[in-house]
Every structure is written in C-alpha cells, then in structure tokens.
Chain A
C-alpha cells in the first residue's frame, strides 16, 4: 500500500536517501528546518534557482569579461569576450562517484512511498555527489534507482551544464537520457544542442539532430550540425555522421563522417580549408581532413582542387611510440591537366616522403629520411605540407648510430646510407654516400689532457651524367617540354676526368691537446695527424694521356693519398670590470684570443677528387677553425695566426645584453692547396652562369693575401622585446665589403612581431642573358647578393591584424616575394586573406624570371583545431607558427 509520509502542505521539503545493504535507497525526511512560507511568496523559499532554465538555455554559464575577477580574466581565451564559468554550488568540489554519495532532495511538495518511489514537485533540487539536478517535477524510483525529471531540467556535473525538457537518469551508472537539450562544456569552451541526448554508461554523449560549436552563446559564426554526433570526454574527441558545417547558419560543407577534438589535449583538428586563386593554377581549394586514429597516431587527408591542373590528394600518417616517431606521407595528382608552360603535362605528379626515428636502446638509435618526387618541378608547382627537409636535393638517407664508452672514454659508430634526388635542372647531382662508416671518439685522460680520433670510410658514387652545363644555351625555347631530359649533357667530355671518379675514401685523424686553465686565461696546444686514402674507379687511363682532356697534366692514379701533421695553439685571456650603461649595472668583459695554426703544405692534392669538400663561407668562426675546407678531401696548408677580441655586457643574471667580437688572421705563407685545380688555370666558359675567371682570380688573390678579411659580429639585446644582430666581413686585401648582415627583431608577444633584415654577400659577376635565355658573351653585371627582407605581424584595431613580408633583391631591383594580408581573429574562428606575389623559379635566369600571383582565403575554426600550419605562404614570416599556435 502506498503511504504518503511527506507533508502534503506546500513547503520546502528536504529528503535524504542512502543506499541500504541491498543497494536500494532508503529515504527519510531530514531534520533540517523546513522553511515555511505563506502562500504566494516563494521567492525567498528555495535559494537554489539563480536563473530560470529558459534563460539558462541562452546564457549557458557564459560570463562576460566585465563581470569577471582579475584572475578569471587572465584565463580567458584570446579574442574572447567572456567564458563559460561554472557557478559555485553544492557538490561542485565533490570527488568520487555520485552513487557512493547520499541523495539529498528538496522541493515545494513531495510524497514518498517507502521502498517504491518518491515524488517531488515545485522547485525540485536533487544533489548527489558532484551531480545536481533541478526541475519542476521529479520522481525517484527506489528499486530501479532511476530518477525522472520533468520541466525546466537543469543538470550539472563538473564541466557539464545540460538543460532539457525532460531527463531520465540511472543513478547507479550515470546514464542520462534527455530531450530537447542545450548544453555547455566549460573547459572545452564549447556548447551545443540536440533533440535527444544519451549519455552512456561509459561517459560518451550521443546526440541526435545535434549542433556543436565553440562560439559564444548567440554567436552563430560557425557550427557543426549532424543527424548523429557523439562526444567522448574521455578521449577528448567528437565524431559524427552526415555532418554539415554551417557559417552564419548557412550550410557550406557536407561530410559523411567527421572526427574532431573537443578539448586542448592535442593541437590537432579537422578542418582548415583554404581557398586560393593563382595565376598559374587557377582556382585552388584545399580541404585537409584530419583523422585522429588513436592518441599516438593520426592521419591527414588533403584533397586539393586546382582548376587548371585537376584534383590531387595529399595524405600524411604520423605516429609516436615510446621508442620511435615518424611519418609517412605522399601526394598524387593523376595526369596533370595544365598545358601552358608545363613540361609535365599529362603526367602523373607525385611526392613520397617517409621519416622515422627509432631509439633501439639508450645508446643506439636509427633514422630514416626518404623523399622522392615524380619530377624536378614538383615542389615548385605544388609545394608540400609534408616535412621535406630540403627543396633542392631531396634527401634519401638511412642512418644509425651507437654511442659507447663512458664520459671519459667515449666513442660512437655511425653508419650512413645517403643519396639525393636532384630537384634542380641547372645544378649538378651530388655524390652519394653508399655507405659511410664513421667512428669518432675521445679520451679525457685528465682534466688537462685529452685525445680525440676519427675514422671515416665512405664509398662515394654518382652517375656519369651528373653535370648540367650549357643546357639553356642549347635549349629550344619553343619546345618547353622535358627540356632537362633531352638537354642533359655529359661531363667528362674533354674536361677533368677526375670529377667522374667514384670510389672509397678512408680518412683517419687523431689528435691530442693539453689545456692549462685559470679563471683569467687558458692555453691549449694541440697536435693532430690526418691522412686520406682513396681507391678510385670509373677513370679512363687513355683520357689522362690526352693533353686536351687533361690540361693540368694529372697522373692516372687510382689510389692517391695525402697525409699531414697539424700543430695548433689556442689561448685566451679574460678581463672584466663593473660598469654602468643606461642606468643599469653590468659586468663588462674583454676577452682577447690568439690562435696559431701550422700545417705543412702537402703537394699533389689535385689528384684527390672532391667528394664532400668545399670552401667554408668566411665568418668570425673561421678565424678559429683548423681548416678552410669542409669535408675531408683536402688538407689545407697553414702557417697563420688569428687575433680576435670579444667584449660582452653581462646583466646581473649572466644574460648577454651585448656582444661584439672582431678579429683577423695573419698569414706567414701563401696558401698553396686549392680546392679546384682550375683555379690556377684560367679558362673562360662561354655561356656560363657566372664570371668564372673573375671568381677564380678572387680565389687566387685570397690565397696570396697576407691577411684575411676582418671579421666582426655584434649581438645586442636592446630590450626584452628587441634585438639587433650584425655580421660584417671586410676584405682588407681587396678593400670591399665581403659579407654584411644586419637583422633587427622585435616582438612583445606572439601577436606583435617585426623583423627587418638586410644582407649583402660579394659574388662574382653574373652573365647577362638575352630574351631566349642565352648568355651574351662578355656581358656581365653585378652578381652580388644584396637583399632586404621585412616581415611581421602587427595588430591593427579590434581583432584585426596585419601580416606581410617584403623580400627585395636590390642588385637586380626585383621583388623576390611580396606577401600582404589581414587576419581577423575572434573567439571561435579566424579568417585570413592573403595576397602573394613571388618568383616561381621556373626559369634559371634572372632577366626572364617569372612571377606568380595568388590570393588566398583561409579559415580556422577554433576548437576544431588545425594540425600545424597549413599556411605555406606564411612560413617566410619568422615566428608565424608561434603566433598561429598561440591564438588557436
């Protein structure tokens, strides 16, 4: 029999229900003082309903920034006018499962049937643990442990606000079924609505006829709607079928399946469409599609439509495990439709890229980096969001390294296989290392005495057809197609046979040094022995007998070798003083340094091929180097002393506020060992891209100069926000500036950045070419690099920013790149509009270089993320990625 034990009179009733031994509830009216009221005056009765549910449906706990505390204000997302903040309430801080906590209920009216059900009506509020439900009416069924709420239902759990017309909760497992729902998830900064909502036992929320957005309430900038959406707070991702992206309620994009992040556990996401219009590719639509497959691997599919070329697909798969990380990616455009100026017309265009890093043990690692492309024009035509390490030579490398020994006696063994895909039509193929074995090591015998060694054995090889010369001169301009395939010329026809050499090189080096060190000075003498041995193949003995083919009179020698000792003495002094500049105290240092180097000349090194050696770009560091050649093919003779001095201003924390260093090398002997045997023998090459004889004359002058250029560098941190760097190399012998670089950087935060740079590099004159791209014999112009580069991001007003770059070539009075754009950044989306004009690099002479124009429109839907920066044009703006990340 039903027995109502609750007061029938309208008054606040409080109940407390606890599970009994059979896990059934037993409810009782609590001893709490019921608030009695007169009829008609209920406002002071139940202090539980701060707002009515219908109002809460539109405000959803959104607190405008004006009503926030300073602390709350600091935590809101950039460009937001407020945030979803959970109000203080009973049980908010409660931990553990709600089922283990007692139920407390209160209402205006209630009735109770012991063992069966309790019925509440009028300002019902039920609390259990962290959960709180308010409604007009409620029924609690004791045996089934089901609670039903009707009318203006407001359910609160940590991070969740759910308003519905009716809700049914299984108290035991937390399953919720609700109708006509609006909800907000505070930490996800998101909200949504649905006709029906089911929160499953495992916490996954399933929505029917749903809507989801990260925009503030009443802002309909964008939303995802779907017949079925599901949200998994555990994994931090949502998914759905038949989803439509709406912008201002207008459907703009349909997808049969969608997967998107709901919180910030990963900076990754789904949609990042880009609309572009380019003079070459026509209308260009890029719509990356992100698939989060598991916490440690994901994939991106990027369909791209270029109206002039066709539809292509780029895909990328990334993974991360405890011992490894990597990615596999590729792109394909079947049958390129672009006819005009495209030597790959009707061809399949593709790119493949794989990167893998593996930690095999704490001492042993391995890595693979392999990229290949269908043709030399691929990156120029399409670019890539894949991580391609170099655009000129695609790296194809497998490398493994083992580090052994301890900190005093250490060694490491590296095995390396490395080849390249040459993406330039006017540059030589590089040598490939097939394979390279390198053993390095050292022994710190005492604090002063240390030994070092290096053994490198490499087999260098390349195809006979590695040299590209005179191609343009021979090219028929009317026949654009596949020029590089046809015109590829063979080197070795009447020239230096050695450069066709392949073979094994063994390089051994061992040294010892002894360091005396005091707080105020150090002296470190060192000795080293170096030896190079070759075993060469691919050389024709008869060619060496032909004076036309062998103008230098080189010997036919398949196993040349060179050995040399080296003696060095490095020393320095430290002075300092306390000083004040601009009202701040600093420690100023003065550090003179002296470096002496002696290596006797080893003759006959022209017999050595050039496998991996070049001349270092001269810089301040060059003064202290043991060698002027990179790689191991030449042992540079030296009898020289370098003098330099560095001064620093150190702040109280040891930070380098200012550094200036200047120095010069003085030569006691001319440098006899040259890199290129032709330096000593002038030979004009008609139609060459640069004035070779001038370049060679400079190299010879440099070898005979009694002093090096003066090298200086300056670094000045003007303030926390700005810094200035300058590098200046002045050639005393020739009385000209050899290298100059000045860079100013300003950034207060990621929203405001400015970079201004000017760079100059002295180069030999370059040939002037006629309209057909043929070099005009004897016609030269300045080939030096003189370029300015200005880039930055600057807030304009409100949520608008300006971004851009201007990279200008002063020598040729030509813009390398102009990029100008605006960005609008709001609480839940970002829009970018860009204009770009840049050289497209499709010809290799400056006079006829083509420019390409493009306009681009990009959307970023915040909270749906964006996996890195798909903004290829923006990578030229230094610090852009930080900016992009910080505002997502």
Chain B
C-alpha cells in the first residue's frame, strides 16, 4: 500500500555535527538524547556550528480519577520539552519547538514506595517519547530551510549589532 522501507540518511548534513546544550550532563534526559542522536548518525561536539538547545524540560502530575470518596486513584504525568536550533552565537535558527507527552499511572495508597518506583519508570518513558518526537522534528528539517534560517539569523545579528552602539 505504498509503504517502503525508509531510505538513506534522514538528517541533513548540517545537523550531523551538533552541540547539545541545556541538559545536565549525565541526566537521564541527556543520556536519552545522546543515545538517540548518535544512533541517528549525529556527532556530538562542543565545537559544532549548530547547537541543539534544550530550553526547558518539565513534568507535571495531576490526579485524573478519584475513588468514590474523592481520593486520587490515577495520576496523569505530562512532560513538556522545549528546544530550538541555534547557531554558534546562540541566535535561534529554528524553533522554539514544544513537545509534549502524557502517561497515566495508578496510585497505590497502600504502597506509596511502589508508586514512587512506578513514577520513576514513567519519567524515563516520557523522556524517551519526547526524544523520539524531537528526532522526528529534526528529520523533517531540510538543508534549504537551514540555509534560509541561517541567513535570517545573520541579518538579525547584524541589525542587533547596528542597534547596539546607537543605544549607548
């Protein structure tokens, strides 16, 4: 029905060398990102021209179902990941992109420590889901779009430079 095995390299060459910023090194999110990026052929380097900057990652929990007496029975965990692509000056090229994902889990009031263990697992799965969505975003970017964004960013930088002395 028209489906074909995915073809060769999905990331444009400019994105194959990236600096990853905004995540704490060694954190689960950072590991998930690194693993996903490198397995998609991205070389991570602090001297790369382009930066993949995580602008924010947060999770939020709220009760979604209740027992008949009004106590929380199930929780929904929402994760939001915001990121953009920056040039080496820190000027935004593309984005900011905002991704979100949700998971639900059961609160076991008689076994709080188990619920904490479950929440920990949920957090890892949320991160993986968000990283997957992030990769899909990156894969949709074309070289032409990047070149255009880079020109626009340079123009903005120039404008800012000209405006700066005038303000002084």
Contact = CB atoms under 8 A, between A and B. Distances in A.
Interface in B13-32: 24-27, 30-31
Contacts of B103: 619, 621
**Most chain B CB neighbours (cut-off 10 Å) among A610, A654, A843:** A654
Interface string B84-95: 000000000000
Contact of B125 (A517, A621, A656, A811): A621
B69 A428 contact: no
Contacts of A678: none
B27 to A, nearest CB: 7
Nearest to A460: B113
Interface stretch (B48-56, B135-143, B146-154, B156-164): B135-143
Contacts of A655: 136-137, 140
A150 interface: no
B10 interface: yes
B73 A785 contact: yes
Interface in A786-828: 787, 789, 807, 809, 811-812, 814, 816
Contacts of A574: 5-6
B67 to A, nearest CB: 8
A759 B6 contact: no
Nearest to A433: B113
Given A428-B111, A787-B66, A849-B68, 5 more contacts: A576-B4, A579-B2, A611-B113, A812-B68, A845-B69
Contacts of B113: 430-431, 433, 460, 611-612, 631
A542 interface: no
A88 interface: no
A512 to B, nearest CB: 14
A844 B6 contact: no
Nearest to A389: B61
Contact of A653 (B112, B115, B140): B140
A412 B64 contact: no
A651 B133 CA distance: 12
Interface string A27-51: 0000000000000000000000000
Contact of A619 (B7, B44, B104, B137): B104
Contacts of A447: 38-39
B137 A761 contact: no
Contact of B117 (A406, A521, A613, A814): A613
B71 interface: yes
Interface string A168-182: 000000000000000
Nearest to A816: B66
Contacts of B6: 519-520, 574-576, 589
A845 B71 CA distance: 11
A872 to B, nearest CB: 14
Contact of B114 (A589, A614, A846): A614
A589 B7 CA distance: 12
Nearest to B68: A846
A475 B120 CA distance: 38
Q: How large is the interface on A (under 10, 10 to 19, 20 to 34, 35 or more residues)?
A: 35 or more
A577 B39 contact: no
User: Closest 8 CB pairs between A and B?
Assistant: A654-B140, A614-B114, A846-B68, A839-B70, A430-B112, A630-B117, A403-B26, A612-B113
A677 interface: no
Contacts, number: 180
A844 B71 CA distance: 9
A616 interface: yes
B3 A590 contact: yes
A725 B140 CA distance: 24
A460 B113 CA distance: 10
14 contacts: A403-B24, A403-B26, A406-B25, A431-B113, A447-B39, A575-B3, A650-B140, A653-B137, A654-B137, A654-B139, A785-B74, A812-B68, A839-B70, A841-B71
B115 A614 contact: yes
Interface in A594-620: 610-614, 616-617, 619
Contact of A430 (B111, B140, B167): B111
A873 to B, nearest CB: 14
Contacts of A573: 5
B126 to A, nearest CB: 10
A227 interface: no
Given A404-B26, A520-B5, A809-B66, A617 B105 contact: yes
Contact of B26 (A412, A427, A625): A412
A807 B26 CA distance: 42
Interface of B: 1-10, 24-27, 30-31, 34-35, 38-39, 44, 62, 64-74, 102-118, 120-121, 125, 133, 136-141, 167
B163 to A, nearest CB: 13
A393 interface: yes
A428 to B, nearest CB: 5
B148 to A, nearest CB: 14
Contacts of A845: 69
Contacts of A521: 5
A433 B133 CA distance: 36
Nearest to A812: B68
A656 B133 contact: yes
A843 to B, nearest CB: 7
A519 B8 contact: yes
B156 to A, nearest CB: 20
A519 B118 contact: no
Contacts of A588: 3
Contacts of A789: 64
A490 to B, nearest CB: 16
Contacts of B71: 392, 424, 841
Nearest to B113: A612
Contact of B70 (A650, A652, A656, A816): A816
Interface in A398-422: 403-407, 410-412, 420
A637 interface: no
A507 B163 CA distance: 60
A851 to B, nearest CB: 9
A391 interface: yes
A515 interface: yes
Given A392-B109, A430-B112, A614-B111, A761 B5 contact: no
Contacts of B68: 766, 809, 811-812, 814, 846, 849
B118 A403 contact: no
A430 B64 CA distance: 22
A848 to B, nearest CB: 9
A517 B39 contact: yes
Contacts of B44: 407
B136 A650 contact: yes
Contacts of B38: 444, 447
Contacts of B137: 653-655
Contacts of A334: none
Nearest to B119: A630
Contacts of A625: 121
A310 interface: no
Contacts of B3: 575-577, 588, 590
A844 B69 contact: yes
Contact of B136 (A520, A613, A632, A654): A654
Interface in A530-576: 573-576
Nearest to A420: B112
Given A575-B5, A614-B117, A759-B74, A725 B69 contact: no
Nearest to A807: B66
B114 A515 contact: no
Contacts of B30: 407
Given A630-B118, A785-B65, A785-B74, A610 B102 contact: no
A577 B110 contact: no
Nearest to B108: A614
A405 B31 CA distance: 13
A450 B39 CA distance: 12
B19 to A, nearest CB: 12
Interface in A653-672: 653-656
A470 interface: no
Nearest to B111: A614
Contacts of A427: 109-110
